[in-house]
Chains A and B, each alone.
Chain A
């Protein structure tokens, strides 16, 4: 005990820490509680002397908010799914790691790597792995077929006639008209030259203006040529070297109004759009009625499974799943999140459990061995009970971390917190608090923070109660 005469000295020594803690920890907590109970709190107005009504309006507002309830559901679902899975997996991996001698240190390092890697970066890698639509350069080579059809829907006539690393050529024949399309890539499809030969004449144009695309040509009735491209930004076409944007469904005629090209979406049996069909009317050289000629761009072999996960699924004969792209299902989104969060949570848990395992006296295992205990019984009757303090720690911190899940969602879905076209679908509590703050809604953010705190508090208390009975210290 410090002599009361010298107590002031002790306080001076403590002062820097006390001041810092008070300003940056204690006051923000108090202020959060205060703001949560003030309706429509605005810090600037508060500084100007304005007063706000006291009450639980913010909490009511939070619970009335559909987005808030979505966040609550997402957060709880992720927590309940990921904590048991990651703990069980970490336990198995730790036990396995602990029982091997060679490569133990090496594997330990491998398993620990995710811990020291940025979670946003990992999220982006996972997003790529679960993607369904990837880079068009790849698509062009393997995933698309080009058809030209006449009105009788006769066989596809465009065939890939040449192919190497830098050069593609498609040759086709529709109603005795010879078409020839030449794509000379310079690895980058943006820089492809497109040469269209119509009825023996060769036209050439550059597709530089056209970003990653599939390129077609057609003939206008006045004999000039037209290049049409489907790109990720829609359909574009080149006419006499001039580019203009066209709507996806209808190509308007060019400025001369001399020819018209039309595009229809091509749907698969599920009604998903898998490509475009471009068509125009043309008159055969040998004379006769104008016929409708199609050029169809469509994804053969079920769209583009660029993501490694869908690739693997298809390799083993499964059907691709729309994991995280536009109009993906909630279950698929949650599945991806669970995989990612579990993978991300493993290293810390393995580390803690390995430490716990190594502190278990080896003689317990010798004793069990002499008594002829099976491996499973050793795990369930000896290892797990003796590891229970560590398991309790890992589970409790896992739940706390799970309720604060936020960056993992950003990592995979970006800050829209949901797949394209459905922002906020996977929003979590912490994300909701951030958004409220960004929206200058301090009261709502504070109230949500307190609700989150209450949930974590209750869950931790339950955890501690359960572990009191189950954990052997």
Chain B
């Protein structure tokens, strides 16, 4: 089931009666989510990603715009008539019911021709539990489960009524780091098995990039960029997207271009011949640095953090907007201990130029 968002806008009235300032939570969201894909809505808190999710599931009304599931206009449908499953950030499992009762609850709500017999309900509950691998835990209460298990129960409860769309609100934020890795694989697997169009919301770019087919990066209610995770990472449309994706984050420098030469301070790092002279923001991914004693970029070395597979060189430069520059280098390459400075060469495909006023990407060929 594809989901079409047409100019979806959500405006919250001002809380403060005096100021009358409206809050535009989501501004003109226009996007078609292809059938059977896993889509991540990504952005910092307050960017409108959860509001978008709630509008899709019907808990929030749209201020303007339309939402279609397939060809059905669901804009004015109430949540229960949309056929969506929603997994809440804190799971919202009913604490007084067992896992089985929790999963069965949506089925018991069905009335009229959809009404199921007890056997059918049990069968569907078993099926859903098996899918998320909690069929051993059916008689426990949520409080007796670990965070990851609760998460699975919540997913099972959302899936048991066979929704057209599955929505997940910050599904991994309540899990510890190790469980997070495991659970996101699990979500991916379940989505692949059920082929249900799934939309999830997260502020963790790593999470979004790792499992999504498509990510939507949002900022202050405005969609910044939509695309496959790798494409968005490799080719951010603006400084915000570039900064938001990637750990460690991209290193941003103030610089300029003069006669096709991109300069940080007085040092020419790369060339981009067809860009007019101007001041720039220059973003360099941590993995875009190559330690080279003859490299053009000289930085003051602060420390080297060894992480086994690779090392992280921490250095400073006057032109850097980040307090420190982080570069990831192969651990085979040794930086001379005791040296005060370190010199880098830059990989041309890991450096992005941004207009200083608009912060939009300047697309050009970099050498």
Contacts and interface: CB of A to CB of B under 8 A. Distances in A.
A373 B109 contact: yes
Interface stretch (B90-98, B132-140, B188-196, B275-283): B90-98
B59 A369 contact: yes
B96 A386 contact: yes
B23 interface: no
A364 interface: yes
Contact of A370 (B85, B108, B111): B85
Contacts of A366: 59, 86, 88, 92
Interface in A346-405: 361, 363-364, 366-374, 377, 381-382, 385-386, 388
A372 B161 CA distance: 11
Q: Among A370, A372, A377, A386, which residue has the most Cβ atoms of chain B within 10 A?
A: A370
How many interface residues does chain B have, given as a range? 20 to 34
A156 B360 CA distance: 104
A472 to B, nearest CB: 4
Q: Among A363, A364, A369, A372, which residue has the most Cβ atoms of chain B within 10 A?
A: A372
Given A363-B88, A363-B90, A381-B105, A370 B79 contact: yes
Contacts of B161: 371
Contacts of A363: 88, 90, 92
Q: Among B78, B90, B105, which residue has the most Cβ atoms of chain A within 10 A?
A: B105
B265 to A, nearest CB: 52
A99 B95 CA distance: 22
A370 B86 contact: yes
Contacts of B97: 385
A371 B80 contact: yes
Contact of B80 (A361, A372, A388): A372
Contacts of B96: 385-386, 388, 472
Nearest to B85: A370
A370 B110 contact: no
Contact of B106 (A371, A374, A472): A371
Nearest to B163: A370
A374 B109 contact: yes
A382 B109 CA distance: 13
Nearest to A472: B96
Contacts of A372: 79-81, 106, 109-110
A366 B79 CA distance: 9
A263 B58 CA distance: 81
Interface in B50-94: 57-59, 78-81, 84-86, 88, 90, 92, 94
B86 to A, nearest CB: 5
Contact of A367 (B78, B81, B86, B110): B86
B106 to A, nearest CB: 4
A388 B94 CA distance: 13
A369 B109 CA distance: 10
B135 to A, nearest CB: 21
Nearest to A471: B96
A369 B86 CA distance: 11
B353 to A, nearest CB: 45
Given A363-B90, A372-B106, A386 B84 contact: no
Nearest to A372: B80
Contact of A382 (B81, B94, B108): B94
B109 A370 contact: no
Contact of B57 (A361, A370, A377): A370
A374 B80 CA distance: 10
Contacts of B109: 371-374, 377
A367 B92 contact: yes
Nearest to A361: B92
Interface in A102-132: none
Contacts of B81: 372
B24 to A, nearest CB: 23
Nearest to A363: B92
Contacts of A388: 96
Contact of B59 (A370, A381, A385): A370
Given A370-B79, A371-B161, A372-B109, A472 B88 contact: no
Q: Among A361, A363, A382, which residue has the most Cβ atoms of chain B within 10 A?
A: A363
Interface of B: 57-59, 78-81, 84-86, 88, 90, 92, 94-97, 105-106, 108-111, 157, 161
Interface of A: 361, 363-364, 366-374, 377, 381-382, 385-386, 388, 472
19 contacts: A361-B90, A363-B88, A366-B88, A366-B92, A367-B88, A367-B92, A367-B94, A369-B59, A369-B79, A370-B59, A370-B79, A371-B80, A371-B105, A371-B161, A372-B80, A372-B81, A381-B94, A385-B96, A385-B97
Given A369-B80, A371-B157, 19 more contacts: A363-B90, A366-B59, A366-B86, A366-B88, A367-B88, A369-B59, A369-B78, A369-B79, A370-B58, A370-B86, A371-B80, A372-B80, A373-B80, A373-B105, A373-B109, A377-B108, A385-B94, A386-B95, A388-B96
